[in-house]
Structure 1
Amino acid sequence: MVSSLRGDHQTKIPIWQWQQWDGLPYLTCTLLQNWKHGFLTRQFYPYPPEDLTEVLHPKAITYRVKQVHGCLVLTPPEIKIKMATKTIKDTFPCADGLITNDVNQAVWVASADCVPVLIGDIKTHQVAAVHAGWRGTAQRIIPETIAYFQHFGSILEHLRIAMGPAISGEVYQVSEQVAAEVGLSLFKEEGISSPRKILEALQTMLDSPILSDSKPGRVRLDIRRVNELQLYKLGIKTDQVAIAPHCTYQEPDNFFSYRRTQQKKVQWSGIVSGDCPK
């Protein structure tokens, strides 16, 4: 089964495809065809990344973090150092982004409504996995990860970015204060800072990331659209970005949604770094 991407790309439109592993469904995106990757479904629960890496590449080394809705990005060597100093109760270091520095490294993030983001560089073959909820989006976790790529030698035009299944804007009700806090991430350079002015600026944007809500003081917020706009402000082109046409809240057969059930169950998304050029 094939799902196409919404968007205004002038080049070949990325395609989202359902794959199967041992009878279990997961999603891939042609934008990331250079790498073994997958946005896994709830059917893989409760297996951890250490077991799930086999789905992508049985010989890859697995890396994960304790997600805290922040903007810290770690490399595998940093994860190893932090794990060596952690107590038994707190095995994984706190972060919300992982970027590879070697070949055959599988990086994973968990999500239940937040945005799982997988990124690859078509020249260096480095990859990253990012967890972007509304708090991480407000702190610009994806641009922070892009900055790491650039620090390690990447140039923007070589990056490919896929945002997986997450809660869609049409059903994600938040307070106006939350929407303004997230929206501020788009307007710091313009000097727009008051919540009222931020909301007004968001509402006048083409394909606005916020929709009206019948409840006073509330709006509907499209987190993936905000992250997409952050990327465009960096200089990323539309054909470098793909957004999965799937909503975790509205598709209970395939995805967990904390907003829908209040249960702390997640699906994992991972990507494996490829061979770096000599």
Structure 2
Amino acid sequence: MHVTSPALAGISGLRHAFFTRDGGVSSGIYGSLNAGFGSGDDPDNVRENRRRMTEVLGVAENALISCFQIHSPTVIVADGPHDGGERPRADAVVTKIPGIACGVAAADCGPVLFADAEARVVGAAHAGWKGALGGVLEATIAAMEQLGADRGRITAAVGPLIRQPSYEVSQSFIDQFLAADPGYARFFAPGRPEHAQFDLPGFIGHRLTLAGIGTIDDLGLDTYSDPDRFFSYRRSTHRREPDYGRHIAAIALAG
């Protein structure tokens, strides 16, 4: 039903999970642990799937806090359970409140979980290429520091995401990165003419390192190439499926 980071698992008083597609009630292309309210799945199935996730995390059903994700560097601070209203438009969640789970959804983009064991501050970021390039990781770290964290003490875990052998991109994609920093060329491997293979986890790791993160744990899992365990937006597109499921990655301080 989920995989974990050895680095985060070694921190006491902390619960986290990178949920897979197993262990839920959804069927068909959403089978079975689809967490995406933005998908075409039955909302009751999504709610039950999320309830099962809260059991794993040891939090109340309304304490899994996630956003309406927009591929931005926007971060919210979670200071209590969800009030039942609209989810905020953002791509990262941080908290220092025990019993509140910071969660992000993904289906190829990079879910990154953060924890400062000493300050007891945790966070979760949704880092696709646009968010990672736009600064969502750095913004998450800064928001954690506002709650008392120290970036040198933070452990960051990079969960299942699309990896370089599966991630073909166009020349226009490459050009956006090179315009930001010509040194980013090292994250592209040769591919078809006017295409390349992009190393998203390598880029995420690079940004985390530059930001001064003390420990980075990359789980090394590829969503695209493992259909039995993971949803993948790109794989669904290649298969011409009408939609796709979403995973949740979440972290919480024990209440």
Q: Same fold (TM over 0.5)?
A: yes
- 1:28 maps to 4
Structure 1 residues 79 and 224: alpha-carbon distance in aligned structure 2, compared to 1, 3 A threshold: farther
Alignment check: 8 A CA contact 2:58 2:254 kept: no
Within 2, Cα distance between the matches of 1:271 and 1:94? 19
1:202 and 2:202 are equivalent in the alignment:
no
Q: What secondary structure, in the 3-state scheme, does the structure 1 residue paired with 2:156 have? A: strand
- 1:177 maps to 172
**Which of 197, 211, 216 in structure 2 is aligned with 1:220?**
197
1:54 and 2:55 are equivalent in the alignment:
yes
- 1:244 maps to 219
Within 1, Cα distance between the matches of 2:146 and 2:158? 22
Unaligned runs of 5+ in 2: 25-32, 35-45, 238-242
Q: Tell me the TM-score normalized by structure 1.
A: 0.74
Within 1, Cα distance between the matches of 2:254 and 2:175? 39
How do 1:1-278 residues align onto structure 2 when only pairs under 5 Å count? 25-33=1-9, 34=11, 35-43=14-22, 44=24, 45-46=33-34, 47-48=46-47, 49-59=50-60, 61-77=63-79, 91-182=86-177, 187=181, 198=182, 201-203=183-185, 208-214=186-192, 216-237=193-214, 240-262=215-237, 263-274=243-254
Look up the equivalent residue of 1:150 and give its one-letter code: E
Alignment check: 8 A CA contact 1:135 1:182 kept: no
Within 2, Cα distance between the matches of 1:133 and 1:28? 20
Structure 1 residues 67 and 152: alpha-carbon distance in aligned structure 2, compared to 1, 3 A threshold: same
Look up the equivalent residue of 1:66 and give its one-letter code: F
Look up the equivalent residue of 2:98 and give its one-letter code: V
Alignment check: 8 A CA contact 2:156 2:213 kept: no
Give a deviation string over 1:187-245, Cα, whole Å, max 9, x none: 3xxxxxxxxxx2xx334xxxx3211112x2211111111111111112224xx001112
Structure 1 residues 259 and 122: alpha-carbon distance in aligned structure 2, compared to 1, 3 A threshold: same
Give a deviation string over 1:30-58, Cα, whole Å, max 9, x none: 21122211101111423443441111114
Structure 1 residues 172 and 79: alpha-carbon distance in aligned structure 2, compared to 1, 3 A threshold: farther
Within 1, Cα distance between the matches of 2:218 and 2:203? 12
RMSD: 2.1
Look up the equivalent residue of 2:72 and give its one-letter code: G
Look up the equivalent residue of 2:65 and give its one-letter code: Y
Look up the equivalent residue of 2:150 and give its one-letter code: I
Within 1, Cα distance between the matches of 2:141 and 2:179? 19
Alignment check: 8 A CA contact 2:74 2:136 kept: yes
Within 2, Cα distance between the matches of 1:175 and 1:79? 42
Within 1, Cα distance between the matches of 2:131 and 2:81? 19
Structure 1 residues 142 and 249: alpha-carbon distance in aligned structure 2, compared to 1, 3 A threshold: same
Q: What secondary structure, in the 3-state scheme, does the structure 1 residue paired with 2:164 have? A: coil
Unaligned runs of 5+ in 1: 1-24, 188-197
Within 2, Cα distance between the matches of 1:155 and 1:142? 14
Alignment check: 8 A CA contact 1:42 1:255 kept: yes
Q: What secondary structure, in the 3-state scheme, does the structure 2 residue paired with 1:123 have? A: coil
Structure 1 residues 128 and 68: alpha-carbon distance in aligned structure 2, compared to 1, 3 A threshold: same
Q: What secondary structure, in the 3-state scheme, does the structure 1 residue paired with 2:227 have? A: coil
Alignment check: 8 A CA contact 1:169 1:221 kept: yes
Shift of 1:147: 0.9
